[in-house]
Structure 1
């Protein structure tokens, strides 16, 4: 199943993000088979991130919850909130590189 995860960052946490970015990217890289797409969300190009969006392939919502709680951004307090949604692609057979 596919899921979309939307994270909200703690306000004014750019320094915290920068401190743990390398560990976070390494963590994501180790989970490429599960986390299909990941990236920060910004109000404007070049502005500080306000959160992130992931597309995850997993068997259950519970599995998704277990996944992100070991992310260095989560364990070090960058994330203020998280929303998990089941995602149904409009064109399920289409493989689109992002």
Structure 2
């Protein structure tokens, strides 16, 4: 099953995001095919304000564990994380 992880940064998270970005990206790359895609949410000025990750997981709890293991989460960057089951119906490469 696919799950969307909707991660919203704390309002004061800019420096913390910059300081932990490299280890966050290493972590995401290490997830391999579990991670379908990911990227930051941006404000009107193009600055990151959160993250969207879509992951393959067996359950909402397993998806939450993936979110909790993210270095951004461990550093306290996120003000909130929402886990939602998601169905990739349009432009899914698995259906090509």
Same fold (TM over 0.5): yes
Deviation at 1:32, TM superposition (A): 2.2
**What is residue 42 of structure 1 aligned with on the other side?**
42
Q: TM-score, normalised by structure 2?
A: 0.88
Matched, 1:79 2:78: yes
Greater helix percent: which structure? Answer: 2
Unaligned regions of 5+ residues in structure 1, if any?
none
CA-based RMSD of the aligned residues comes to 1.7
Q: What is the rounded CA distance, in whole Å, between the counterparts of 2:71 and 2:90 in structure 1?
A: 33
Give the secondary structure class of the aligned counterpart of 1:38: strand
For the 8 Å contact 2:5–2:67, the answer to whether it is kept is: no
Greater strand percent: which structure? Answer: 2
Deviation at 1:91, TM superposition (A): 4.4
**What is residue 21 of structure 2 aligned with on the other side?**
21
Q: TM-score, normalised by structure 1?
A: 0.87
Unaligned regions of 5+ residues in structure 2, if any?
none
